[in-house]
Structure 1
Amino acid sequence: MKLNGEISDGEQDQEKMVVGYALTSKKKKSFLKPNFIALARNKGISFVAIDLKKPLLEQGPFDVVLHKLPGKEWREIIEDYRHKHPEVTILDPPDAIQHLLNRQSMLQNVAELNLSDCHGKVGVPQQLVITKNPSTIPYEVTKAGMKLPLVAKPLVVDGSAKSHELCLAYDELSLSKLEPPLVLQEFVNHGGLLFKIYIVGETIKVVRRFSLPNVSKNELLDVDGLFRFPRVSCAAASADDADLDPNIAEHPPRPLLERLARDLRRRLGLRLFNIDMIREHGTKDMFYVIDINYFPGYGKMPEYEHIFIDFLLSLGHNKCKKKDGT
């Protein structure tokens, strides 16, 4: 497909796919790196910025629209475009993305899965939603039978840094200092290691990250208050090259990940997301999903350039097959 003004005459013959993108400046910087753009161009893929000051329906034509912008106004724009241009692949549908922007609904699909026959078990930590009145939190926690410490997470995931500001509550007194609306999750000891499972279409890539250390009962007696941290994976601390206990560092079984990814793709209706997973310390096959994120920081995923380009090319290939009726 050709887009006037974007490519020179000499390059037009090689052009196969045009990807329109609407991303925050932070996402654009981390994802659309120069080497990625160059590699894509060599494969016949060009990335074109969507002008947010102009009507989207007047722009293009696009083969794919890649987007991650906050706000109801953008959701309505992209939804309208999707209905009027069904031939364009939207990554991903805004109503499907919306499902991951609330931590109350985010993990529900995981809780409903039955993966017991896949070399392991996957669950979600017990959690409790608090929408108002922090003074009642200690009572609600006791009523739900939840055990300290608890991880407190903002209920809404809106892409802001604040929505990823988590904290660990060690005692009942500290619970009433929290700011609703929020989700409380029981903290599961996991050896200080988290698995970030990146999904790009049907491709799965696992990256290990350092996380919070185990908490013992004795430590709980000596700790008061709240411990605040930016996110469970402690920013970008990679653990892939660290000398770790094999019992902790071993990746989740591949059949388990393939089944989990396949079922979540189908249930969520998404093709670009990542799963934050932990292994319960002292077990070999008990895993918990603690977060799911749409269009995560793929720039931190090894070989993301080749993986993402292959994914885009597969979209074009599948579209051609449908046109041909094969």
Structure 2
Amino acid sequence: MGRGALHTSRFGPVSSALSPFSGDYSSRHPRMVVMNPLPSWRLLHDRLGAQKVAKEIVNLLKDPDIIVPNRVYLESTGVENTVKYLEEAGVTFPFVCKSSSKMHLEHHRMTLVFGRRGLKDLDLPCSAESYANHSGILHKLYVIGETHFVYGRPSLKNFAMSDDRSNVIFSTSDVAKADSVSPLNAGKHGEPTSQTRPVSANKISRISEMMRRVLGSSLVGIDVIVQDGTGKHVIIDINDFPGYHEVGIRKFQTALLQLLRTGPCNCFGSQEGNKSS
């Protein structure tokens, strides 16, 4: 139930594409309804593009409790230059460095930098973003048209700034899968403290709806964490055509059939996206 297509020539009166067909294919099948427009697909396969989408969602929602981490793209070498760019962008220690491309074989590989000492060892270029403590709980939001599901997953533990600690290189596939067991994560149920705040169903619903309006996409995954203390909902990633294994076959099929009946979102991005496709 991951990336793929519904291989059928007709579903009711129109064909429905669930995978990123070429623009040529779409132009030869004008009645085909594209669930995830090609421009949006391309955008989300670039980490910087996905970050821009998240930022736009936050700006449009105008909710001070829904945010994105402070981020900056680092490509110049030299500790002094790096410090300058981090300070200008408001990126604080600890921060996470991520590959700029999601198409790279090691796009799940990231580096946690605790203090200035680790700057000299960074593998540039990378996207650096402030790390928000969240009691080791990641909320995976699966969007299927107007339906969405949220599942909690293990995530990185709470960390503090430290100039004495070396960088930690990790893979999200090792620390943030449903069954992940790692010294870096907080286990299946996280590490609740007095600072832990619950996820808001209302905020999740608004994030899901605005994402559809911005992208015009109907099958998307969003990673959200809830910042300790403040309760702010932080959008840390958006993925096109996520795996829906946690949702389960029956729920996925029901939501997908409903989506095929109602059609994709007639939103900001969808009309332009389908024309571009």
Task: Indicate whether the TM-score tops 0.5.
Answer: yes
Unmatched tracts of structure 2, length 5 or more: 180-185, 264-277
Decide whether aligned partners of structure 1 residues 173 and 197 sit closer, same or farther in structure 2, where only a CA change above 3 A counts: same
Q: Secondary structure at the match of 1:138?
A: helix
Q: How many residues align?
A: 249
Aligned ranges 1:45-56 → 2 under 5 Å? 48=7
Asked whether 1:292 is paired with 2:233, we answer no
Q: Aligned residue for 1:223? A: 165
Between the two proteins, what is the percent identity of the paired residues? 25
Structure 1 position 47, deviation (Å)? 5.1
Distance in 2, matches of 1:188 and 1:231, equals: 16
Larger radius of gyration: 1
Q: Aligned residue for 2:154? A: 210
Distance in 2, matches of 1:260 and 1:242, equals: 24
Contact residue 211 and residue 233 of structure 1 kept, 8 A: no
- Structure 2 length-normalised TM: 0.78
Q: Aligned residue for 1:8? A: none
Asked whether 1:271 is paired with 2:218, we answer yes
Structure 1 position 203, deviation (Å)? 1.1
Decide whether aligned partners of structure 1 residues 242 and 144 sit closer, same or farther in structure 2, where only a CA change above 3 A counts: closer
Which of 16, 21, 25 in structure 2 is aligned with 1:64?
16
Structure 1 position 174, deviation (Å)? 2.0
Asked whether 1:149 is paired with 2:91, we answer no
Asked whether 1:139 is paired with 2:139, we answer no
Over aligned residues, Cα RMSD in angstroms? 3.0
Decide whether aligned partners of structure 1 residues 261 and 143 sit closer, same or farther in structure 2, where only a CA change above 3 A counts: closer
Contact residue 203 and residue 307 of structure 1 kept, 8 A: no
Q: Which whole-Å deviations, capped at 9, do the CAs of 1:236-295 have from their partners, x for residues lacking one?
A: 135996486386776522221111111110101111111111111123x31111111111
Q: Aligned residue for 2:136? A: 192
Decide whether aligned partners of structure 1 residues 82 and 249 sit closer, same or farther in structure 2, where only a CA change above 3 A counts: farther
Q: Secondary structure at the match of 1:302?
A: coil
Q: Which whole-Å deviations, capped at 9, do the CAs of 1:103-141 have from their partners, x for residues lacking one?
A: 22322223313353xxx8110010001244465323322
Q: Aligned residue for 1:252? A: 199
Bigger share in helix: 1
Bigger relative CO (Cα 8 Å, ≥ 6 apart): 2
Contact residue 154 and residue 188 of structure 2 kept, 8 A: no
Unmatched tracts of structure 1, length 5 or more: 1-27, 33-45, 49-59, 69-76, 320-326
Distance in 2, matches of 1:232 and 1:187, equals: 18
The amino acid of 1:170's aligned partner reads F
Q: Aligned residue for 2:127? A: 183
Contact residue 125 and residue 186 of structure 1 kept, 8 A: yes
Distance in 2, matches of 1:155 and 1:161, equals: 12
- Structure 1 length-normalised TM: 0.67
Q: Aligned residue for 2:177? A: 236
